[in-house]
Amino acid sequence: MTAPQVVVFANPDLLAAATAARLITRLTDIQAERGSASLVLTGGRTGTAVLAHLLAAPAKDAVDWSRIDYYWGDERFLPAGHPDRNETQAREAFLDHVNADPARIHPMEPSDGRFGDDPDQAAAAYAELMPDDFDVFLLGVGEEGHTASIFPSSPAVFETSKAVVAVRDCPKPPPTRVSLTLPAIRTADEVWLLTTGDSKADAVASALGGATEVEIPAAGARGVSRTLWLLDRTAAAKLS
């Protein structure tokens, strides 16, 4: 796994715009090499802001969005179309406005989907459709250091064999989620961790300062060829 690289931006909006530009460049390069690419999306304020900048970017047409496979790193286990689902937010911010191929959009099952209110079956089904690896994996980082829906000292952070797990009793609502695990994240060629705000500064400093993944799960999110931490100035304030 690669050592983290850190890029600091003056404010959250500049971070989102720069990340969108970086993503366009990377996806264009991958498509030039292989024809298609895989992208794992993240939710939250920063992840949605990146998608908004992506949609507004004139250079977005350099990417053939119909030749991207879209996945999610985690999902709130809520009914289809619920406004708090990462899928819903990504569709509204970006996917519904570009020529994404519906067959290549791979959301996690909702709580009123094929498996009803059973997140374990939803997790197992998602594991079956995942590729062996990903090209670019976007992640957020929480105030306590969680990434995807892997929280400190939770059962998910100790998972070593499953690629996707059900997560219950999350300390942040909603309590039930479905999440990729750290072993699945570490199959990605590039992992980009995006976070902003002074409330994240302690977690960022700990993750980059040698904390274990049990203490700070984001510390265990690494890419095969690149691990990028994309931070605003306040989130990076406690880095040496």
Which tokens sit at 143?
A: 């105030």
Residue 65's alpha-carbon distances to 69, 148, 211, in angstroms, are 9, 24, 37
What per-residue confidence (pLDDT) applies to 240?
A: 83
Q: What is the pLDDT of residue 2?
A: 85
Give the pairing of strands 164-167 and 68-72. unpaired
Domains of the chain (ranges; CATH) run 4-184+192-223 (3.40.50.1360)
Tens digits of pLDDT across the chain (240 residues)? 689 999 999 999 999 999 999 999 999 999 999 999 999 999 999 999 999 999 999 999 999 999 999 999 999 999 999 999 999 999 999 999 999 999 999 999 999 999 999 999 999 999 999 999 999 999 999 999 999 999 999 999 999 999 999 999 999 899 999 999 999 999 999 999 999 999 999 999 999 999 999 999 999 999 999 999 999 999 999 998
